[in-house]
Each structure stands twice: as structure tokens, then as C-alpha cells.
Structure 1
Amino acid sequence: MFFLSERLEFPPVERANSEGLLAVGGDLSPERLLVAYKTGIFPWFNEDDLIMWWSPDPRMVLFPEKIKISKSMRKVLRDERFRLTKNSCFKEVINQCATVKRTGQRGTWITNAMKKAYLKLHEKGFAQSYEVWENQSLVGGLYGIDLGHVFCGESMFSTVSNASKFAFIKLAQELEEKEYRMIDCQLYTDHLASLGAEELSRDSFIGLLERDRRNS
């Protein structure tokens, strides 16, 4: 097990174990988090655990141009039932992502320390939120880290049917227009696969990240 020091560096991602765990310890400073995301690493841990840093293989990603929109979602988009905003209430989005009940999940990995860390990243312009409104009520949304040509999705929530899908589709459409390379979805879920996300080998994923860093 690799324990991080105060230095802002991580071991090579190839040292991650079979589950993708790379290192433990360190802190959640904006500087360390940005180093992590830019090198294909993300934090994920429970409230009472040490900070755990992951780089799984394979990696779940969505290429924005490959977003899948079902017939039912096309109708939702046409009906203008929902309204989208960006960065209008980041704190409320991350709080909702932490507290919304999810099938098969007893707790949340979005700890108070994580909330504070991502709020700092938001203040620095790196963490972004997309909010979905029905009338005047916040009913869905997502947040993540914007690296320039890659968006690292962290979590999304929905309190009414299709709200989080709406946010994700709108995100993908915006990023396609801006010629972003991909959305990092981290880990496989059936929900993400149904929206067009796919698994890449870690080597391929890191290669795309490094290419974008060189070109930025």
C-alpha cells in the first residue's frame, strides 16, 4: 500500500491494485485534487476512512458525440418540462448528491471534507455544476471537474424521473459543441452505459488525458 506524503505527487497508476486502489493518505487540497484528476486519479472513501485514491482499469468514459438519447428522452427535451442552469447553486447540488437515497446504497462517499474541498475547487473555477429545475424547484443536477477538454463527472442526483438524465444529456451536448474529448465517468454502471458511455483500458484513458495536457 502506498502512503502519500506532503509532496503533491502520486505513484504511477500502473501500481494500482486489481480493484483500482492506488494510494491512501494525503489531503484534499485544490492543488492535490487537480494533480490527481489530470493524471487519471480520483478520491473515493467513506467518512471514517483514510483518503483513498483510485485509478481503475478499465475506465468508464463518454465521448460527447456518442451520447444516446432515447425516444422518451427526446420527448422530454422537446416538451421543455425542465430548465437547465449552470453554477447557480453548486453547494445545493453537492448536498443533494450526498443525501439523495440510492437503491442498494446505505451511505454516501461525499463526506463533509469532500464537500469543503469541491467548494474550494468551485470557487477557483474548476468544479462545475449543472442544475435542473421544474418550475421553481431544483429536481436534479450533477457536478464535476472541468479540465479544459475533459470533464470529470463526480456525481448526479434526481428527485423526479429523468432529471439527472436531462442534466447529463445537456452536459454532453454542450461539451460536444465545445469539442471536448470526453466525460470521465470513472466506473461502470448500467445507467451510464444506457446513455452511451463505454469502458476504455486505463492505458488508453491515460493516453487521451496526456494528449490533451500536451495540447492545452
Structure 2
Amino acid sequence: MTPAVFSHGDLRLYLLSLLAEAPQHGYGIIQALTDRTGGTYTPSAGTIYPRLAKLEGEGLVTKTVDGRTTIYAITDAGRAELAEREGDLAGIESGLADSVRLIANEVRQSVQSAMKSLRADLAAAAGAERTAAQSRPSTSTPTGDERAGSREQLHRADAAVNAFRAQVRTDLRTHVARGGVLAATVVTELENALDAAAHAVTRALDSPER
């Protein structure tokens, strides 16, 4: 997913800017990129280490092995290139912010669509239940048929919730496995939508028309 966030050659310069702040190991660089993009971009080791090796070969970066950890640091030549391309770096950071917003919006819209469909299904089910309740004779104690019907609807509700959970989990895992990004804001949107759906169910169950 590098092209979706960084244009060709931009990641190289951005790595130099990260190392100019402080020496760092590979995982720390990956984590820094994740943090800087709000969780929308987490590069793989196969993306980062070859670029670090190329920077080292160009004399822009050095590496020091400390036990099992390899620490990368920018050289004077690397700082000189970074200074020469200060304007390019500013453009990268501006474009990066725009790309992150677009990616987060795409994923958020996908989750919102799924949540909208779930809320519509819940509203339809609640409406059908109210209509059925109005046609039944008023009684303080559910009849045997009503209890059996409730158990049947409970199984139906369980199946619907489990199917939805499985579908969303599959969609999210597939998206990430294919290199997609999943922003923290999208997960928050999902949590809020699920909370709203839960409140909708509670309101339907507590409705006096039931």
C-alpha cells in the first residue's frame, strides 16, 4: 500500500526525516510511521528494510548492531540531502495528511454503510414486532405460544447478530490482509454505531406498544 500513502521516492526521504530526529531500530521506524499516519499506514518489514539497506549503500544511513537489535542512524550526507530537499519534505507531509484523510474516509464509509443496513434491519424487525403485538389480545402473562414464538425469534436474533459479526470480521481482516489500512477513527465509528444499534434494540423492547 506504499503508493497509496507515499508517492514514488517519498518514503525514502521520509525515512531520513525520521532518523534525523533520533536513531531508531526497524520496528521503531514502522511504529513511528503508524503513529504519524494515525494508524492508517503500517508498512511491512519487507517494505522498510530494503529501503534502509539502500540508504545505507548510498552512505546516507549507518547501522549498528547491538545484540539482537540493529540501530539505524542518519549520516552527515543524509542530513545534507534532507536539508536540500526541505521543500520536498514539506510537500510530502502535506500530501500524506491528505492521503490519510481520504483512506480513513473510504474505510469509514464502508463501516457506516454496514451499520446503516443493520439499523434498518433492526428498525424493520421492531416495527414488525409492534404490529404483531397490537394484533394480540392484551394479557399480563405470555401464553405458551407466545413464549415459544419468543424463543424462536431469539434464535433468529442470535443468528442475525452472529452472521453480522462474522461478516464484519471477515471484511476487516481481509481488508488488512490485502494491505489495506484501518484507522482508529474507523474503529471508533464502528463502536459508536454498534452502541447506537444496541440502544435501538433496548428502546424497541421497552416500547409500551410492545
* TM-score computed with the length of structure 2 as normaliser: 0.24
Compare the two structures and name the one with the higher helix fraction.
2
* TM-score computed with the length of structure 1 as normaliser: 0.23
